[in-house]
Structures are given as structure tokens and as C-alpha cells.
């Protein structure tokens, strides 16, 4: 069994982890860390206490898995602190340290976080209605114009429309749409109340809407889904912004 206690400290989510990590508890720890990332703390610091034990070094890959899942969106750094030196050596030899840095104390990890990345963010909750995809498209166009990122507006509108329509048609819930602007990328994220991941459908250009997640995959640099701490899930996609494109700064 894995037990965790999450405390927000200086903007970072410090996750105190105790218990035994094995194949049965791997998914629970992974999902807890992913949920922490969705709230966009300045960093996730996983503090492995002396009560934390492992079945084998293979299960330590959970931290690299979380890092890979959040590196594109929401772009939250993941850090490790291990109280037990033997465990710390296991982290190093397992290869996890190539992706997730390890620090001797929580204080040292927090000192290494640095300033948060420059970003803009705008989120709105839409009604559960057949008109919501149209409202979402207008919201994206307006936001891209105000942020001066017209180079991505067409793709962003298509992706947002697809994700919002999926939330209504397949998740049966009112969606929340979040737009984020960071250096070099524009992110679209939609939260719904259904924890089930999206089920890909064939791309059908004959349909006016609901063209499937293949369209999102084609248009975006990366996309994925994460459990939401508010329940349900968040489906997100990231569009690259050319270096010479204006970013509204």
C-alpha cells in the first residue's frame, strides 16, 4: 500500500510518499503525481521517506513515466528526494536520474526550482449544450487574437472544437476549456467528468464535426490525457509556435 501527503510549499507540490511500491501500487502513485501536475505547481517534489520501500528497481520507472507524461503539458518539473541512501543509489542505477533529478533534501529541491516559466492562461467552463463547440471556437479565436498568436489559430480552433465535442458527446458533461501560451508553444486542454480515456475513432472528413482524435494527433506536436484532481480527466494538445511568430509579449 502507498500513502501520500501533498503539501503546497512555495508554489511547489511536495508529495510525502510512504509505503511499498510494487506492481499493484504503481498505478496509484503514478495517477496521484499526474493529478498534482494538472494543477500546475511550480514543481512536483516526490519525497520518498524512510518508510518507502520497493519491490524492485523496475517499479522506480514510475517517476520517469510521470516526467514523460507532464514534460509537454503542463510542463511541470519533477524532482526526487530520497531519505534512504540505499534507495538513492537504486534511483541512480535504475536510470531514473537521467530524467528526474534527485536532491539530498526537500529544501535543496525547492531552492533549485527557480522562477516559474512565463505563460498566459485563460480558462472557461461551458454549458452542456449542442451550441458549446461553436462557443468554444469563438473563445479560441478571440483569445488567439488578443494574445497575438494567429499563426496557430486555425489548428487551435479545430482541436478545441474536437475536444469539447468529445466531452459533450462521449463524456456527457459540461467541458472546461483551458488555453495556455508559453514560449514556443500553445496548449489546449479540456476537462470533463468522465475518467475514461478518449477512444480513437477513424478520421471521417465527410462529417461536419466529431472527426476523431486522429485529427488532434495530426495537428498537434503532442497530445495526451491525465486524471484531474477535480474528478474526471483532462485531454490536452500542444501546438508549436514558430520562433519568428509574435507571442503577444
pLDDT means over runs of 10, the chain (249 residues)? 95 97 95 94 96 93 95 94 93 89 96 82 95 96 96 96 93 95 95 86 55 86 92 96 60
**12-21 and 44-54 strand pairing:** parallel
| DSSP letter for each residue of 177-216 | EEEEEETTEEEEEEEES--SPP------TTSSS---HHHH
Is residue 79 within 8 A of residue 73, CB to CB? The reply is: no
- Kindly provide the residue ranges of all beta strands, DSSP E only, lying in the chain, ordered along the sequence: 2-9, 12-21, 44-54, 78-82, 102-103, 120-125, 176-182, 185-192, 222-227, 233-240
Q: Which domains, and CATH codes, for the chain?
A: 2-113 (3.30.750.24), 120-240 (3.30.565.10)
pLDDT reported for residue 33: 97
Query: 102 has which bridge partners?
Result: 80
pLDDT reported for residue 119: 83
Whole-angstrom distance, CA of residue 105 vs CA of residue 80: 9
Whole-angstrom distance, CA of residue 146 vs CA of residue 126: 20
pLDDT reported for residue 249: 45
Amino acid at each position: 500500500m502507498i500513502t501520500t501527503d501533498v503539501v503546497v510549499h512555495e508554489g511547489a507540490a511536495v508529495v510525502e510518499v510512504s509505503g511499498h511500491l510494487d506492481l499493484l501500487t504503481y498505478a496509484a502513485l503514478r495517477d496521484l503525481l499526474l493529478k498534482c501536475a494538472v494543477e500546475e505547481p511550480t514543481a512536483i517534489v516526490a519525497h520518498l521517506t524512510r518508510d518507502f520501500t520497493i519491490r524492485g528497481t523496475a517499479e522506480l520507472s514510475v517517476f520517469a513515466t510521470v516526467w514523460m507524461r507532464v514534460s509537454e503539458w503542463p510542463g511541470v518539473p519533477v524532482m526526487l528526494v530520497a531519505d534512504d541512501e540505499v534507495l538513492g543509489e537504486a534511483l541512480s542505477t535504475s536510470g531514473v536520474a537521467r530524467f528526474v533529478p534527485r536532491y539530498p533534501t526537500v529544501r535543496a529541491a525547492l531552492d533549485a526550482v527557480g522562477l516559474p516559466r512565463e505563460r498566459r492562461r485563460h480558462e472557461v467552463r461551458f454549458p452542456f449544450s449542442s451550441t458549446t463547440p461553436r462557443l468554444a471556437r469563438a473563445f479560441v479565436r478571440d483569445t488567439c487574437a488578443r494574445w497575438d498568436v494567429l499563426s496557430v489559430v486555425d489548428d487551435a480552433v479545430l482541436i478545441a472544437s474536437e475536444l469539447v465535442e468529445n466531452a459533450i458527446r462521449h463524456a456527457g458533461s459540461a467541458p472546461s476549456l483551458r488555453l495556455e501560451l508559453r514560449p514556443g508553444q500553445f496548449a489546449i486542454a479540456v476537462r470533463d467528468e468522465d475518467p475514461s480515456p478518449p477512444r480513437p475513432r477513424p478520421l471521417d472528413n465527410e462529417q461536419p464535426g466529431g472527426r476523431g482524435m486522429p485529427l488532434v494527433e495530426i495537428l498537434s506536436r503532442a497530445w495526451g490525457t491525465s486524471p484531474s484532481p477535480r474528478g474526471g480527466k483532462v485531454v490536452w494538445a500542444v501546438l508549436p509556435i514558430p520562433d519568428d511568430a509574435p507571442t503577444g509579449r
